[in-house]
Amino acid sequence: MENKDLLKFPEKFKFNLSGIDIIRLHDHGQAIFLLLTTEEKISKVEPLFVVKELLRTKVLNFQLTDFMFLKQPNFHGPYLPESIGHKDYLNINIEDFFKKYTEILSKQRKLTPKIDANKEKNLSKKIDSIISDEIDIFYLKKKLSKKAKSFEHEWSHALTEYHEFLLIDKTQGRVFCFILTYD
């Protein structure tokens, strides 16, 4: 007997880095949007499977160095890839996303200016264009170490904060990695 309603899930996904948008918030902060697309259908797949595949494929392996974003196999932002797993990502709802996002932007930081109103408005517009009812959101709940870090290159800098959100848009078959960093 043939079951035509049986869903076939891909064993693996192939993600493509389809775009990067960086918004410099001020001298000490930036917002980064990575657009990842896949040819496979993700509309019926559990979102945690998508997170696991993102980590497995290492498509999010990069290093942030001041104004530059570099693909680097041995980094996941400020973390070593082997130190991050799918259990480090917390599934949150849209309300919690906006609460966390607002908390991060409005936090008082020593020697850090407030974000210019126009830049904050542009950032909000960008986020509003991504958010929909059919989106799954994950927040990387890892904290940066308070220990001093040493870097190989003089143009590198130490991040004081790193916040990463994965916005999985099932209807469009795309994933946005939204990052807020402070140095």
- Overall average pLDDT of the 167-180 stretch: 90
**DSSP-derived pairing of the beta strands 174-182 and 29-38:** antiparallel
Q: Give the lowest-confidence range in 21-25, 125-129, 165-169, 176-180.
A: 21-25
**pLDDT given at position 70:** 67
Written as one string, the DSSP assignment of the chain is: ---TT-----SS--EEEEEEEEEEEETTEEEEEEEEEESS--TTS-HHHHHHHHHHHTTT-EEEETTEEEE-TT-BTTB-GGG--GGGEEEE-HHHHHHHHHHHHH---TT-PPPPHHHHHHHHHHHHHH--TTEEEEEE-----SS----SSTT----SEEEEEEEEETTTTEEEEEEEEE-
Give the pLDDT mean for 113-141.
90
Considering only 38-52, 76-90, 92-106, 136-150, which range has the smallest mean pLDDT? 136-150
User: Is the model's pLDDT at 87 over the cut of 90?
Assistant: yes
How does strand 174-182 pair with strand 15-26?
Answer: unpaired
Show the tokens assigned to 132. 């929909």
Nearest CA to 168 out of 55, 22, 42 is that of 42
Q: Which two tokens stand for residue 165?
A: 């959100």
Residue 109 neighbours by CB under 8 Å, 6+ apart: 28, 160, 182
Higher-confidence position of 152 and 128: 128
Cβ atoms of residues 46 and 30 within 8 Å: no
Q: Given the structure tokens 């960093």, which residue do they identify?
A: 181
Residue 148 above 70 pLDDT? no
Residue 155: band (very low, low, confident or very high) from pLDDT cuts 50, 70, 90:
very low
